[in-house]
Amino acid sequence: MPTPKGRGAPVNTTSTRFNLPQRAAEGEWLDAQGEVDGGAPPLVTSVTVVHPRTIISRNTSPDIPFDQSVNAYQGCEHGCIYCYARPSHAFHDLSPGLDFESRLFAKPDAPALLRAALARRGHVPTPIAMGTNTDPYQPIEREWKITRGCIAVLADCGHPLTITTKSDRVVRDLDLLAPMAERGLVAVALSVTTLCADTHRRLEPRAPSPARRLAAIRALAAAGVPVHVSVSPIIPAITDHELEAILDAAWGAGARTASYIPVRLPHEVAPLFRDWLAVHYPDRAAKVMAQVADLRGGRDNDPAFGSRMRGQGVWAQLIRTRFKIACKRLGLNEVRVELRQDLFEAPLGEGEGAQLRLI
C-alpha cells in the first residue's frame, strides 16, 4: 500500500499490547477511497481538545538530561516515521500509524495549568523541557499558540526552559526567547536528520525542510539564544553518511553544542518502520534492519537505560568515533550551557493561598 500523500506512515496498524484490533486503515478519507479520481483524497488532520488535570510530567530516567517536561500536544503532524512517541497513541485506542499524525490532541489549558503548578509551594525550578514527546512547534501551533502561551508563563516567572523542535516556527517566538536568553533562561535544540531534500520528504513529510531548520539555527544564534543541533535519529544506510555534513552546516549556522541518537524503534514503531522501508527503500531494507539489529543487541529495539540512547556494537562505536572527531574539529561542545535557576519567582496562585501571600 503506498503512503498517503504528505504522510509518513504507509499504514494504520495498531498494537495488541492493549488488546486493540489491528486495522489496515481507518478514517473518513478511506470511506471515500475510489470515489475521487479512483483513489483516496488527502487525509485531513483533526484536533481534539483535552483538559488534563496536570501539565508537568516528571522524569526519573538516568539517561535523559531533564526531570520535568510539558507537552502541549499529543500526536504530531510532522509524520516522522521513526518517532518514538507513536506508541503513545495506542492508549487512546488509536493507531500509532496514520492516526498518530492526523488525529491530534491539543491542551489549551496548558498555560494556566503551568502557572498553577509553578505557584505551588516547594516547586523546584529545574529546567522545564518542551518537545520531549511530540513537537511543540508542529503545524497546529500556528493557530493554537499553546506552546507560546507556556513560554510566556515561564518568561514571566524567570523559569529556565529548554526546547527541542524540528520547526523553524520557533523563530516566531523570538520576542519571548531572546529576552529569556539574555537572562540565561533558555536554550533551543534543532533536530536535523538529513540535508537531502528527497530523504527529508520521505522521512519527515510535514516537517520543515533542512534549509529552513538551518535558517532557524542562524536566526536564533543571531538573537543570542544558545542553539544545539541534535543529529537524531541516525539511520544506518539512509542518513548515517551525513553526520559530518550536518554538523558542519549547523556549526556554520551558529550551533555551538551537538548530540546524536541512533534510531530507536520501540513497540509499534518497528513494524511501521519496516513497512516504510518496503515502500521507500526496498533495495536496502534488509541491510538497514541488519545494521539496526547490530546497534540494538540483535533486536529491533533496546529499551535499556544508557544503551538505548547510544547503541552498542561495532556500528555504534563507529558513529561515536566519527561524532567525536567532527565535534573536535569544529569546536562543538567546548562550552556547556548552564541555565539559571536563581531568577525564579513563583507566580501568585488563586484563591485563599494567593491572598495570604499578599499580606
Summarize the confidence of residues 97-107 as an average pLDDT. Answer: 92
- Whole-number pLDDT of residue 207: 95
Q: What is the pLDDT of residues 280-290, one digit of tens each?
A: 999 999 999 99
* Of 54-68, 136-150, 261-275, minimum mean pLDDT range: 54-68
Please tell me the least confidently modeled range out of 207-216, 323-332, 345-354: 345-354
Residue 114 lies in a domain: yes
CATH of the domain at 322: 3.20.20.70
299-323 burial, b at 16+ Cβ within 10 Å, e below that, comes to ebbbeeeebbbbbbeebbeebeebb
pLDDT the model gives residue 63: 63
Q: Which helix (H) or strand (E) holds 344?
A: none
Q: pTM for the whole thing?
A: 0.87
Report whether pLDDT(302) > 70. yes
- Is residue 354 situated within a structural domain? no
pLDDT at 32 over 50: no
Return d(Cα 226, Cα 223) in angstroms, integer: 9
Q: Is 229 within a domain?
A: yes
What CA–CA distance (Å, rounded) separates 53 from 38?
Answer: 45
Please state, for a pLDDT cut of 70, what percent of the chain lies above it.
84
Element at 35 (helix H, strand E): none
Q: Indicate the average pLDDT of the chain.
A: 87
* Least-confidence region, from 29-43, 81-95, 230-244, 299-313: 29-43
| pLDDT score for 349 | 60
**pLDDT over threshold 80, residue 36:** no
For the record, the C-alpha cell of 222 comes out as: 543571531
pLDDT tens for each residue of 185-201? 999 999 999 999 999 99
Element (H, E) at 190: strand 186-191
SS (H, E, C) 274-310: HHHHHHHCCCCHHHHHHHHHHHCCCCCCCCCCCHHHH
Query: Is 75:97 a contact under the CB 8 Å cutoff?
Result: no
pLDDT band at 33 (very low <50, low <70, confident <90, very high): very low
Tell me the CA distances in angstroms from 300 to 7, 115, 270, one per residue in order: 23, 41, 6
DSSP 8-state class, residue 237: T
Mark 268-279 as b/e (b = at least 16 C-beta within 10 Å). bbbbbbbbbbeb
For the cut 60, the answer to whether the pLDDT of residue 21 exceeds it is: no
Q: Which whole number is the average pLDDT over 128-145?
A: 95
pLDDT range class, residue 22, cuts 50, 70, 90: very low
Confidence at 267, pLDDT banded by 50, 70, 90: confident
User: How confident is residue 297, by pLDDT bands cut at 50, 70 and 90?
Assistant: confident
Given this model, what pLDDT does residue 56 score?
A: 94
pLDDT band at 27 (very low <50, low <70, confident <90, very high): very low
Segment 247-255 shows an average pLDDT of: 98
The region that residue 6 occupies, defined by phi over 0 for left and psi between -120 and 50 for alpha, beta otherwise, is left
- Residue 310: the pLDDT is 81
Give the helix/strand (H/E) hosting 51.
none
Query: Is the residue at 15 inside a domain?
Result: no
* Residue 3 lies inside a defined structural domain of this protein: no
Q: Is residue 349 part of a domain?
A: no
In a domain, 217, yes or no: yes
Q: Which of 52-56, 89-93, 168-172, 308-312 has the lowest mean pLDDT?
A: 308-312
- 12/208: higher pLDDT: 208
**63 vs 218, which has greater pLDDT?**
218
Q: What is the reported pLDDT for 10? A: 66
Q: How many domains does the chain have?
A: 1
pLDDT > 50? residue 211:
yes
Higher per-residue confidence, 82 vs 7: 82
DSSP 105: E
Q: What percent of the chain has pLDDT over 90?
A: 69
Give the domain extent around 156. Answer: 45-334
Give a yes or no: residue 359 inside a domain. Answer: no
